[in-house]
Amino acid sequence: MKISEIKAADGWRAYRGSKSFPYSNLFYQKRIEKNGLTLYFINIVVYDLPANYRYMSECDFFDKAGQQFSVRLHAFSEKKTEYVEAFFADIYERMGCVPDIHNN
């Protein structure tokens, strides 16, 4: 599904205005879970700019030592949510990440 078609039923929650994303007027968040544990959250930020909509997706991960690191995916054209979810799932697996230590 395209980012502009996100629906709450798909696990995405919409938020308007945020100190974390001061120049956007809308962002979506999805909790990724497995076996009752929160693995990570994906944020998709929508910037309403004159030329067109621009998107930034980000995710915070934790390594086995508990070190937190962030990954951002910038896009000047609309990506499908399945692409964004698969992108971050691949990073989680390849980097050997552990579940979110702040939300479990």
pLDDT digits (tens, 9 = 90+) for 59-102: 999 999 999 999 999 876 667 888 899 999 999 999 999 999 99
- CA 86 vs. chain centroid, Å, equals 11
Which residues make Cβ contacts (< 8 Å) with residue 4, sequence separation at least 6? Answer: 53, 78
pTM across the whole model: 0.86
pLDDT digits (tens, 9 = 90+) for 15-54: 887 788 888 878 899 999 999 999 999 999 888 776 666 7
- Strands 12-15, 26-34: pairing kind: antiparallel
Write out the E strands in 1-104: 12-15, 26-34, 37-48, 53-62, 68-75
Mean pLDDT of the chain: 87
Residue ranges of alpha helices (H) inside the chain are: 81-94
* Number of CB atoms found within 10 A of residue 39's CB: 21
Measured CA angle at 6 (ends 14, 43), to 5 deg: 50
